[in-house]
Amino acid sequence: MYKSYKPALSLLLIASACLGTAGAQEVGTPAPAEKKPKHGYIRFWNMLPKGSGPLLLQQKGAAPDAAPIATAEPLNYYASYEPVAPAKYALSVVRAGNTSAPLQQFNLLLRSDVYVTFLAREVDGKPTVEMLDDTYDPAAAMAGRITIRNHFPDAQVTVTGDASIQSRLLSCGDFQVLDGFPLRPVLLEMQAKLPNGKTQRWSAEVDFRSSKRATLLVMADPYGRFRPRVSADGPNLLPATPAATAQR
């Protein structure tokens, strides 16, 4: 079993006061329904190389001992959304050992039922962090969409769907959005030319009936092996799953 990394999010709690009502409740009157708390949702994907160390997502100007909103070890492709209180946030992404030098800063107005991904990756050999809005209306989505992200160093990858949809050749750091998938389970076939010259094939199924948006992360596992992952984007989530079948 491989070690998985999942960000530890600390919820920012909004304090509220409850006023009691004097007197007994009338017989036969149902108790008021308890309102479910509203949340936005954040996940943090750290696709930086294994030796780069963990990252923290924290409030800008936070005290050194303040708990971060999220943490992310390198190669934490298991990270799923976690609920966070809706609010305005001024955020910094920092290295765990150097919180005074932000890699990136963001202003985020997080509303209820909004889904956000923070993605750390290398661009031209330098770390960069992006804030991605994954929110969409499932009722309005008439077709499935997948975002392919190649994070396998020095590998070139092509992805083909069984609905005759094919990506271009993607080098490490490239991504492509493929749209128009039927709303049913679709088998994705990947072919990668690895740095050692070998060709690796892999397949993964995406069920667009349950999640009409998904990301295919083409990457190495913590042991350096070719291990693509599929993760649902936005609402109606499916858990992150390993790609189904490998062929050497």
Give the pLDDT confidence of 115-158 residue by residue, as tens digits. Answer: 999 999 988 888 999 999 999 999 899 999 999 999 998 999 99
CB 152 within 8 A of CB 227: no
The overall longest dimension of the chain from CA atoms, in Å, is 79
Q: What predicted TM-score, i.e. pTM, was given to this entire model?
A: 0.79
Rounded to whole angstroms, the Cα distance separating 44 from 120 reads: 8
Yes or no: say if 131 and 141 are a contact pair by the CB < 8 Å rule: no
Which of 115, 119, 138 has its CA nearest to residue 128? 119
Compute the distance between CA of residue 172 and CA of residue 114 in angstroms, rounded to an integer: 29
Mean pLDDT over 197-225 rounds to: 90
- pLDDT value at 19 more than 70: no
pLDDT digits (tens, 9 = 90+) for 22-62: 333 333 444 455 667 799 999 999 998 888 889 999 998 77
Show me where the domains of the chain are located.
37-135, 136-248
The mean per-residue pLDDT over the stretch 187-202 comes to 92
SS3 for 58-92, per residue? Answer: EECCCCCCCCCCEEECCCCCCCCCEEECCEEEEEE
45 CB burial (10 A radius; 0-12, 13-18, 19+): buried
Sheet holding 87-95, edge to edge: 70-72, 55-59, 87-95, 104-110
* 136-248 has the same fold as 37-135: yes
**CATH, domain range 136-248:** 2.60.40.2890
User: 37-135 is classed in which CATH architecture?
Assistant: Sandwich (2.60)
For 61-70, the pLDDT digits (tens) are: 777 778 899 9
Rounded CA separation 213/81 (Å): 14
Query: In the structure, what pLDDT confidence band is assigned to residue 163 with cuts at 50, 70 and 90?
Result: low
Give pairs for 19-24: CB < 8 Å, separation 24+: none
pLDDT computed for residue 212 by the predictor: 94
- What pLDDT is attached to residue 32? 57
Q: Specify the pLDDT at position 201.
A: 93
